[in-house]
Amino acid sequence: MKLNRSLAISTSIQECKMGDIIGLLEKEFPLLAGQESEGLKSRNRIFTVRNTLLTMVLTSVQQDKTLKNSVDLYYMIHQQHKQQATEALEEQLNQEKVLDQSLDKKAGRPKKYTLQLPKSLEKDISLNTAAYSKARERVPMALAEELFSNSRISEVNNSYSHWYGYRVLIGDGTYVQMQDTERIREEYEVKYHGQSNEGYPQGLLESISERGTGQVVSFKLSNRHVSELALFYEMIDEVPIGSVLLLDDLYNCYEIIAKCKRKGIEMLMPAKRERSYELIEVLSEGDEIIRIKPPKKRSEWLEPNTFLLRRIVCKSPEGKEYVLHTTILDAKIDKHEFQLLYLTRWDIEISIREIKTIMDVNILRSKTPEMALKELTVSLATYNLIRKIIYASIKDLPFSPKEDFIQKFYTLNKDFLIDKKGRVYNRWSTGRRRTGTPAP
């Protein structure tokens, strides 16, 4: 069995969730500049911005994601902060007493040492879900985006995150199911041949993850009928210069390649479709430098430039021949290195599975487009925080190929089945009504 770092980390994520994940995540919860963005008045709220956002983070790792369970989590956080504040104030009062006793006594009434908690901690919270629901809506989207940005690991550098000096990133898209509400349907309704579908609305999630940490670097959520290429084209602006993108054949598109080259970003992807090209140089057998001409049908703004690609013929373990295209022309890098690099593109499939099943983002529970995007942003930020915790402990740990990570991962996860209307079942059923007389 070959080394599979992604599945090994998947197991660590699951084990991390089964442990004291709440304590770990609260320690990793970053300090956010906009926590008091609601103004001075927000400091007296019981449902503060920081605690509400922290509760959303903790809820995203719970199997029970109901508002009731979220309020229970908030109550626990509130009680912990109240106890911490009480202990800190008691310590401060004791220090004042010791200091006053060392000084000469003054005439007058003795000083009273009273414990005064902030108003937000004095009151106890109600277990009614309405107040927490409103508090979630008050959390600014910009603060959720800041949380996602701060959840990413900066300056990653290990034997798996980089390849010949390039930072390795992987991109792909998937679909997520959304709630059947009027506002959600306005933006995310699924249509067939222009006609509304009876099934649940769905969104297209386009993401770019980092090899070596598995963290989500960038993402976008849009209507299912929006092209993946259109979303990915916008995301290229967020990709760091000096990166190499591992992509599927869908992204082997002239406009995508042209923008990546203009931004100083390299690409590696299969070439399943026939493309006319001009042979420039033969580096070795099955390894050529070719010139790609611009297509006749292209965007009006796109300059009709030609550019060079490296065309590499590979063989799969089953003996099937396939072709890879890359914008990296360095002849010093052997063609087999590109093949080995591209085989790790499967890591994105593992990451997407983790996000949709382990993090349970396959179904977004919010009932408005704004809250659905906020929920997704917080869930992906939480996923990054878990990856951050794991990376700190095993970033240089070699995984033994003898350990069966696939079997271990399988036993830690349960299958679930979803029908076309989004209903979840523990076992498969055709849904047909039974007819006839039942057997005795």
As beta bridge partners, residue 96 has: none
Is the pTM here over 0.85, yes or no? no
What are 437's two structure tokens?
């007389």
Q: At what angle do helices 369-394 and 129-138 cross, to 10 degrees?
A: 80
3-state secondary structure 254-320: HHHHHHHHHHCCEEEEECCCCCCEEEEEEEECCEEEEEECCCCCCCCCCCCCCEEEEEEEEECCCCC
Length of the chain: 440
Query: Which tens digit of pLDDT belongs to each residue from 112-136?
Result: 777 776 666 666 777 788 988 999 9
What residue spans define the domains of the chain?
Answer: 35-104+112-139, 143-412
Residue 244: what pLDDT? 96
Percent of the chain's residues with pLDDT above 90:
35
Query: Which tens digit of pLDDT belongs to each residue from 370-409?
Result: 999 999 999 999 888 888 877 776 655 544 333 333 234 3
| Element containing residue 27 per DSSP (H, E) | helix 21-28
Q: At what angle do helices 49-59 and 129-138 cross, to 10 degrees?
A: 100
Return the residue matching tokens 């700190």: 392
Q: Are 366 and 375 in contact (CB under 8 A)?
A: yes
Query: Which tens digit of pLDDT belongs to each residue from 275-304?
Result: 888 999 999 999 999 998 877 776 665 666
Query: Which tens digit of pLDDT belongs to each residue from 348-369?
Result: 887 888 788 777 888 899 999 9
Average pLDDT, the chain: 78
Q: Side chain identity at 378, as an amino acid letter? A: V
Q: How confident is the model at residue 43 (pLDDT cuts 50, 70, 90)?
A: very low
CATH class of the region 143-412: alpha beta
Q: Does residue 60 register a pLDDT over 70?
A: yes
Distance, CA of 215 to CA of 221 (rounded, Å) = 17
Residue 390: what pLDDT? 75
172: how many CB neighbours lie within 10 A of its CB? 21
Residue 75: what pLDDT? 83
Query: Which tens digit of pLDDT belongs to each residue from 93-115?
Result: 787 777 777 776 666 677 777 77
Residue 407: what pLDDT? 35
Q: How confident is the model at residue 412 (pLDDT cuts 50, 70, 90)?
A: very low
Residue 209: what pLDDT? 92
| Element containing residue 221 per DSSP (H, E) | strand 216-223
